[in-house]
Amino acid sequence: MTSLLADSSKPFMAERKSYAGNRFVHVKNPHLDSMDEDILYHLDLGTKTHNLPAMFGDIKFVCVGGSPNRMKAFAQFMHKELGLKGDGENIKDICAGTDRYCMYKVGLVLSISHGMGIPSISIMLHELIKLLHHAKCCDVTIIRIGTSGGLGIEPGSVVVTDTAVDSFFKPQFEQVILDNVVVRSTELDKDLAEELLNCSKEIPDFPTLIGHTMCTYDFYEGQGRLDGALCSFSHEKKLEYLKRAYNAGVRNIEMESTVFAAMCGLCGLKGKISSSLVFGPFRSPHPPFPLPLLEGTKPIIMVCLAIYLQ
């Protein structure tokens, strides 16, 4: 681990330094300024009930993933790895007052669950971004460490996303606002993706690749599964679609990346300020092939953190 950190720290730090000057997480909502109180309903937090800068002002890394248990396990893992005082096993869920999401703060790291699919992660991200804004956080890197299904890649691989694409392989997210459709970009920070890939090369038996991640609205028909309650296509048709996806650069499929990339990018959690990545271990979409998430992703997260904390 030591040599790995020494070798890979320089470009990462140089990149981070260049973020200076435009570093705060921002919201793009003129109405917020005139509100007496901002209640983050689904996180059970608020600007009047909680001192958000004191609670969260030092956050530098936000890791999000679908399941509450997994994000608790990740927080416990981070607690141990960072050598923090206290009992990591009894780590406290900051959002315990609601059963929508869970949230753990471990040093400079926030670990949050987002549930499944675009609507669920979108609600969480609205409130998380406002939380980071109210807390005056700066230089925040957000990483989704969720699961995904691999496409034509070795089982157990970690895909570091360069671009999130929709079901038509386009790098965009269509947000319906009232009765308008607004198209938002889903570009992610490619430099950090390369940096993470380089780090992963130094970890034995850790297959990692950079690729596009396709985000669908549905787990069954949208991802070509033949075993849902509804299915109107043949096995051949499914394979033809998945081959086209592969040829378009897609290496894994999940259900959150496009809105994650779009929202984080618009609010300063992307590009020159920080990086938004989506990566997860292979879980074959046909049929599911569960692998423990942390085994696949913890070395990368650790490398990011250790480099930052140097």
Binding residues for phosphate: 100, 144-147
Here the tokens at position 247 are 């040829």
CB of residue 55 vs ligand R2B: minimum separation in angstroms?
27
CB atoms within 10 A of CB 219: 17
CB of residue 159 vs ligand R2B: minimum separation in angstroms?
12
Which residue ranges make up the site for ligand R2B (CB under 6 A)? Answer: 66, 116, 146-148, 219, 254-256
For ligand R2B, the closer CB: 5 or 291? 291
Q: What is the chain's alpha carbon radius of gyration, rounded to the nearest angstrom?
A: 19
CB of residue 148 vs ligand R2B: minimum separation in angstroms?
6
CB of residue 113 vs ligand R2B: minimum separation in angstroms?
10
For ligand R2B, the closer CB: 140 or 255? 255
| Distance separating alpha carbons of residues 44 and 83, to the nearest angstrom | 28
Residue nearest to ligand R2B (CB): 254
For ligand R2B, the closer CB: 206 or 219? 219
Structure-token match 């992703």, residue found: 297
Residues 6+ apart with CB under 8 A from 30: none
Annotated binding residues? 100, 144-147, 223, 225
For ligand R2B, the closer CB: 133 or 225? 225
For ligand R2B, the closer CB: 139 or 256? 256
CB of residue 163 vs ligand R2B: minimum separation in angstroms?
16
